Amino acid sequence: DGGITQSPKYLFRKEGQNVTLSCEQNLNHDAMYWYRQDPGQGLRLIYYSQIVNDFQKGDIAEGYSVSREKKESFPLTVTSAQKNPTAFYLCASNALQDSPNEKLFFGSGTQLSVL
């Protein structure tokens, strides 16, 4: 079945540690996105990528980094510079490059907590 796979489902980070959240899609989608969800604040855009080897900052990119070396993969690294990383992270993708009207498909999310 086609879809978006996020792993792990739960992740714990120690102080000063970088952690990487995985996102893989087999939908042949060009564009991929990372959103952060905090209670009562909805989804906020961290980074997005419309094509391999290119990505743009969203609203809350500070303390995060991404790469897009392959069309299928868009990993998100939460660096030690992100002082409040506890949140639910959602990866998404959609069909066409440069088409914000295309609906997003979402993964099942990763809950990141700080130890």
Partner 1 sequence: AQKVTQAQTEISVVEKEDVTLDCVYETRDTTYYLFWYKQPPSGELVFLIRRNSFDEQNEISGRYSWNFQKSTSSFNFTITASQVVDSAVYFCALSERYTGRRALTFGSGTRLQVQP
Which residues of the shown chain bind partner 1 in the complex (CB under 8 A)? 31, 33, 35, 40-45, 48, 50, 56, 58, 88, 90, 92, 98-101, 103-109
Cβ-based nearer residue to partner 1, 19 or 104: 104
Cβ-based nearer residue to partner 1, 31 or 66: 31
CB of 95 to partner 1, least distance (A): 12
CB of 22 to partner 1, least distance (A): 16
Cβ-based nearer residue to partner 1, 78 or 91: 91
Q: How far is CA 111 from the centre of its chain?
A: 12
CB of 80 to partner 1, least distance (A): 26
SS3 track for the chain: CCCEEEECCEEEECCCCCEEEEEEECCCCCEEEEEEEECCCEEEEEEEEEECCEEEECCCCCCEEECCCECCECCEEECCCCCCCCEEEEEEEECCCCCCCCCCEECCCEEEEEC
Cβ-based nearer residue to partner 1, 53 or 101: 101
User: In whole angstroms, what is the distance from residue 75 CA to residue 80 CA?
Assistant: 16
CB of 32 to partner 1, least distance (A): 10
